[in-house]
Structure 1
């Protein structure tokens, strides 16, 4: 834990984490906020799932373009333009009533989603030395998960209260506060995109990136099925108030998982750690369809959160190892374009399956998707060999000096 305390004492780390928390809280609220708003207005789980799915689809399809723009022009203007636009649209959506209007605004909301996580990730290479990247990825993932703990609980409580409109109003305010705070940081305003290597292959032509895209499609489908399948499950069983608790438990254990991953020795390569935790993920996901929206789903959700938290830390290390120079944001953006599109499809299909068949089919399909993701990495892991090495002492020393130069 000393490594984490050392990081949290750094002024740059404190500023970046605190500034990003409100906007990340908003992202933790938005999906369930859309779901409950549309479901309460239309009395249809299928339409609510469609709205959530279209929102995710628009966000994922546009994130690649937004990431390329950031890598070319910087972070300031995307935040200044998209943050207030997004907050205003949330309020507008909150007071809309027509089915067509709700679906349309959900789609537009996804298209103009501010690049909060895309903005934060590349800044860690400036704020933190290279040899502490695993630890800071763990802390960053833990902060995202903490926001995800509060977000679902808060939005569920507000959406089911006597003032349901307050749920999305709070979401809009949080995005506005966090987005402005992040845009005003010195490290954000002065960040200069990496220069691309002359003659380097396009990101999407790289075999390692293509492998991660294929894996990401399966995982996107899995999370989409879970994201809408769980609230559909609890709603149909008459325990909608447990939705936030289930997601909160998953997010809390996601924090534990990410912090645990950050403490794993650097003697374990990112790829080996990723493959080991992936197998654990497959095993705990297997009995998901046999659960009920009670203690059984809570336990499985906790284990899924633990596995997911560890996975995310090693995943970011792998992306950093295999991506081409000059594309720190684009690499994340394009991977999320495919994974997020799959997530949106999974969420949209999940609502229909839950209403016409049963949410259990969604949970079973999630287990299959996670297994397929594991098999994809298992078969193609040789393409990720650049993430299966440990940095030398000289590389660590050089990284520390470079980071210190950038922060002085």
Structure 2
């Protein structure tokens, strides 16, 4: 825990962590909020799912393009513009009763213009802390991210019961916009200058560590999307038991991030951390009760945040500073696509054999991810002695 104390004593870092957490908090609210409101407006979950899919596709496809604009037009300009455009599109969805095709179009725009908070903050971290503290910082960041998934869905359901779907979506939009402004207002963000990249879009994927991180994290997150669908199917839509099990899993991830964050990352780290996730999911296979599934997915959660932190550290160690935002965006795109594939396959398996079908899909996907990480471990860096000095950046304006 001493490493976390050192991290939080870095000037300005606590402010950055808090502001980016607020800015990213709607990620745990938006999907459920859009789904509920669109079902209320259009009357079917099929229509609601179509709008939500449009939102996810927009986010997944535009992410790498948007992040490349950070160096061309400046961090503040891109963050502010995307926040305004995304919130404006969401406002249309929240306040107007429009044809389905208009809501689908608004969903694409809102997703595509989602402010690139995560790539920006993970690009900023190496500018703020000593290199030996980067691995604990990435783990701390990944662990705190679970707060979003523990409390976000709960907050949405409570607000919907009190206010209705439209006002709840408005609250979510307000949190996203205020969080983005808080993040933009931080002096460290305003001083961040990312030099223009000389590479074409997608060239960063030629780096084996980056490509592996994209592929492995896509399979890994796809597995979690599948097990989530399996848990919901086991207990029934809207059942409190499903929420409890998934919250316990997120709690395991939170604790795992803090417990393993100080450990150095080796070429075996990703495979080992995914093996912990796989163990928990295998234990979950024969179980259908709340207590059993909670324990099993708590174990799976222990490896989640540490695995996500390893991907961030690998990018920071192997990619030039100018290309890191795009690399993080590709990882995000892979995770979104993995979640979509995992959910789709899980749906077929659940229809065939019930909730356990989703867990089986999760086991297969996470097993593939762990196997790929182990087989191609030589393409992953050894960071036990630190991430190393980051590449030079553009001049940074110092406060007067």
**Could you tell me which residue of structure 1 aligns to residue 370 of structure 2?**
374
Alpha-carbon spacing, 1:29–1:53, altered in 2? closer, same or farther (3 Å): same
Aligned-partner SS, 1:114: coil
Mapping of 1:94-243 within 5 angstroms? 94-96=94-96, 98-161=99-162, 163-194=164-195, 202-231=203-232, 233-234=234-235, 237=236, 239-243=238-242
Aligned pair partner of 2:322 in 323, 326, 340: 326
1:37 deviates by 2.8
The one-character-per-residue Cα deviations of 1:292-335 (angstroms, maximum 9, x if unpaired) are 37333322332222210121122222222232453111111122
In structure 2, what is the Cα distance between the partners aligned to 1:250 and 1:258? 12
1:100 deviates by 4.1
Q: TM-score, normalised by structure 1?
A: 0.84
1:11 deviates by 3.1
1:175 deviates by 0.4
Q: Does residue 312 in structure 1 map to residue 308 in structure 2?
A: yes
**Could you tell me which residue of structure 2 aligns to residue 391 of structure 1?**
385
**Please, which runs of 5 or more residues in structure 2 have no aligned partner?**
none
Aligned residues: 393
Higher relative contact order, structure no. (Cα contacts within 8 Å, ≥ 6 residues apart): 1
In structure 2, what is the Cα distance between the partners aligned to 1:172 and 1:271? 40
**Could you tell me which residue of structure 2 aligns to residue 296 of structure 1?**
292
In structure 2, what is the Cα distance between the partners aligned to 1:159 and 1:242? 19
Deviates more, 1:287-296 or 1:84-93: 287-296
Aligned pair partner of 2:333 in 334, 337, 345: 337
In structure 2, what is the Cα distance between the partners aligned to 1:356 and 1:41? 31
Alpha-carbon spacing, 1:353–1:273, altered in 2? closer, same or farther (3 Å): closer
Q: Does residue 58 in structure 1 map to residue 58 in structure 2?
A: yes
Contact 1:53 1:346 in 2 (8 A): no
In structure 2, what is the Cα distance between the partners aligned to 1:229 and 1:160? 25
Aligned-partner SS, 1:271: coil
Alpha-carbon spacing, 1:293–1:109, altered in 2? closer, same or farther (3 Å): farther
Q: What value does the CA root-mean-square deviation take over the aligned residues?
A: 3.1
Q: Does residue 93 in structure 1 map to residue 87 in structure 2?
A: no
**Could you tell me which residue of structure 2 aligns to residue 260 of structure 1?**
259
Contact 1:50 1:351 in 2 (8 A): no
Alpha-carbon spacing, 1:391–1:9, altered in 2? closer, same or farther (3 Å): closer
Contact 2:71 2:195 in 1 (8 A): yes
Contact 2:270 2:373 in 1 (8 A): no
Mapping of 1:33-48 within 5 angstroms? 33-41=33-41, 44-48=44-48
**Please, which runs of 5 or more residues in structure 1 have no aligned partner?**
none
Mapping of 1:10-89 within 5 angstroms? 10-41=10-41, 44-89=44-89
